[in-house]
């Protein structure tokens, strides 16, 4: 199943060992991370972490996110991150924590030639506002948080299709399916025409193991699992 994908698979995480292992995997075409994943992995020195990763990750695109809530400081961080290495994309959230739009900053950075990954997009108007100010000469990724949209009970696929159509006139803009929750999301993202999907390391492992698995065989494995667990628990009636 996964051998016929048109979509690009990016690995999402902040575990350095896992990042470097997946970077070496030819099925993975890029990497992403964010401050929450970094904190979860125990990262305390942002710059040291990024530069350690970049000693190996030199060719495939990788995204690092700013973490200030003030736009002036966001800009300073973005310019510094962009200088780390040529394959680096700078993640800018669609708003700051005060619900103020980041679009003016995004326009400024794009015009300056900074490769951008605009993140935390959850609505079509948010994406449309970014597309209006994109620099046609600057590569950009538009990360739509499909998993979070689905968490609210809304099917993200129609929204992603609209976003893809809106971004289509910009040859250097790619729409990314973010907040992936399950292997099925890879198929959904591919079917609806997304350019990229970013997938947590554990779900990638599940995809390699179970993608396209024979369901009759999986049914048998499931029954064997129940039987083994019941035996080991020593159940009796």
3-state secondary structure the chain: CHHHCCCEEEEECCCHHHHHHHHCCCCCCEEECCHHHHHHCCCCCHHHHHHHHHCCCCCCCEEEECCCCCHHHHHHHHHHHHCCCCCEEEEEECECCCCCECHHHHHHHHHCCCCEEEEEECCHHHHHHHHHHCCCCCCEEEEECHHHHHHCCCCHHHHHHHHHHHHCCCCCEEEEECCCCCHHHHHHHHHCCCCEEEEEHHHHHHHHHHCCCCHHHHHHHHHHHHHHHHHHHCCCC
Would you say residue 189 has pLDDT above 90?
yes
The predicted pLDDT at position 211 comes to 87
Give yes or no for residue 32 having a pLDDT over 90: yes
With a cut of 90, say whether residue 3 has pLDDT above it: no
Model confidence pLDDT, tens digit, residues 56-80: 999 999 999 999 999 999 999 999 9
Lowest mean pLDDT among 6-10, 188-192, 202-206, 212-216: 212-216
**Statement: the pTM of the whole predicted model exceeds 0.85:** yes
Ordered structural domains, the chain, with CATH: 2-211 (3.20.20.70)
Provide the pLDDT for residue 106: 98
pLDDT in tens, 115-172: 999 999 999 999 999 999 999 999 999 999 999 999 999 999 999 999 999 999 999 9
pLDDT band at 212 (very low <50, low <70, confident <90, very high): confident
Q: Tell me what the pLDDT averaged over the chain comes to.
A: 96
pLDDT value of residue 1: 66
């Amino acid at each position: 199943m996964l051998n016929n994908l048109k979509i690009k698979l990016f690995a999402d995480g902040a575990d350095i060992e896992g990042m470097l292992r997946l970077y070496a995997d030819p099925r993975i075409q890029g990497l992403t991370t964010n401050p929450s994943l970094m904190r979860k992995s125990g990262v305390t020195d942002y710059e040291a972490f990024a530069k350690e990763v970049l000693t190996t990750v030199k060719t495939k695109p990788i995204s690092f996110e700013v973490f200030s809530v003030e736009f002036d400081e966001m800009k300073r961080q973005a310019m510094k991150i962009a200088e780390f290495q040529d394959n680096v994309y700078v993640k800018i959230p669609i708003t700051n924590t005060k619900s103020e739009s980041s679009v003016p900053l995004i326009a400024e950075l794009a015009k300056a030639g900074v490769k951008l990954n605009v993140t935390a997009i959850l609505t079509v108007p948010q994406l449309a506002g970014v597309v209006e100010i994109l620099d046609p000469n600057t590569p950009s990724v538009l990360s739509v948080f499909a998993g979070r949209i689905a968490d609210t009970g809304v099917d993200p696929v129609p929204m992603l299709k609209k976003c893809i159509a809106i971004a289509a006139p910009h040859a250097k803009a790619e729409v990314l399916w973010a907040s992936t929750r399950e292997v099925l999301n890879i198929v959904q993202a591919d079917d609806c025409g997304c350019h990229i999907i970013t997938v947590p390391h554990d779900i990638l492992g599940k995809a390699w193991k179970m993608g396209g698995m024979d369901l009759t065989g999986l049914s048998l494995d499931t029954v064997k699992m129940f039987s083994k667990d019941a035996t080991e628990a020593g159940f009796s009636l």
